[in-house]
Structure 1
Amino acid sequence: MRFVVRVAVNAFAIWIVTLLPALQVRLIPFAPGEGLQVLLTLLLVGLIFALVNSIVGTVVKIVAIPLYILTLGLISLVINGFLLWLTAAITGNWDWGLRTGEFWLTVVAALLIGIINAVLGGILRPRRDERARG
């Protein structure tokens, strides 16, 4: 259930970031219909972004522990930008998906996605005491 919430929150956060044209992040929808196209594209990109964060992100963050210490955690901005860029590279193999522009704008987009994920994730994810009861 938590992964489904994470995918939905990622999709919403990516949609919010795509509304800001200065960040040069855009979605290329596919066939069914405009509203459904955007929804399906966002959910698929959110799923791929969640998988990239879960698999690749975990490995990169463990390997980069010395850089976290040296930069007092600021390297996380670059790592999150890299993970967003990697998601765009994966979805770039198809006619739909996430497209990014300049790397540093991708880092800013990743920062905004992280903030949105933190806020919405804190609101929507079930808390430990609620999971123990249910």
Structure 2
Amino acid sequence: MRFLLSIVVNAVALWLTTLILGGVRVEPYADTVVALVVTYVLLGVIWGVVNATIGSLIRLVGFCFYVITLGLIALVVNGFLFWIVAWVSELMGFGLAVDNFWWAIGAAIVMSILTAILGGIAKRLTDRRSSADRSSKER
């Protein structure tokens, strides 16, 4: 359940990011609304996998750079990960198009902020639902 919620949060954050920034756009595999939604969901999956695998490896190896730059290197790393997502989706024949690396860094910043906000809202909603379920079972 948590994994699916993470994919939906990533997809919505990516959709909002493409609305905010002009240098980042999504190209669906077909010209229908369903294809656009499926493309956003697939990009959410790709973002989660890239961030969990490559992102974790880069953070582990580059820990010293994070300490030296007081975490500012994270902007560049997240931009690089965003660019990797665009590259992977392009290889699949659909997906994310980023004009240049600066747009990737900007998109990573915006997406991080939106993911944090949407993730907090989703967590609060699921916590309420689970506490309501527990209290109804206790009666």
> 1:36 is matched with which residue?
34
The 2-side partners of 1:59 and 1:67 are apart by 13
Aligned counterparts of 1:85 and 1:2: Cα–Cα separation in 2: 25
**Aligned 1:14-25 pairs, distance under 5 A:** 14-22=14-22, 24-25=23-24
User: Deviating runs (4+, > 3 A) in structure 1?
Assistant: none
User: Normalization by structure 2: what TM-score?
Assistant: 0.85
CA distance in 2, matches of 1:78, 1:115: 15
Is the CA contact (8 Å cut-off) linking 1:14 and 1:113 kept in structure 2? yes
How far apart in 2 are the matches of 1:10 and 1:93? 20
**Count of residues in Structure 1 that have an aligned counterpart in Structure 2:** 129
Q: CA RMSD in A?
A: 1.7
1-side partners of 2:111 and 2:120: how far apart?
14
For the 8 Å contact 2:14–2:40, the answer to whether it is kept is yes
Say whether the 8 Å CA contact 1:28–1:95 is kept in structure 2.
Answer: no
- 2:121 pairs with one of 97, 104, 123: 123
Taking only the aligned residue pairs, the percentage that are identical comes to 37
- Residue by residue over 1:23-80, the C-alpha shift from the partner in whole angstroms, topping out at 9 and shown as x without a partner, is x11111123x521111000000110001101111111111111011111001111111
Matched with 1:106 is 104
- 2:29 counterpart letter in structure 1: F
Instruction: Mark the runs of 5 or more structure 1 residues left unpaired by the alignment.
Output: none
Highest RCO, 1 vs 2 (Cα 8 Å, sep ≥ 6): 1
TM-score, scaled to structure 1: 0.88
Larger radius of gyration: 2
Question: Which residue does the alignment assign to 1:10?
Answer: 10
Alignment of 1:27 onto 2:47: no
d(CA) in 1 for partners of 2:21, 2:71: 28
Distance 2:56 2:2 in 1: 17
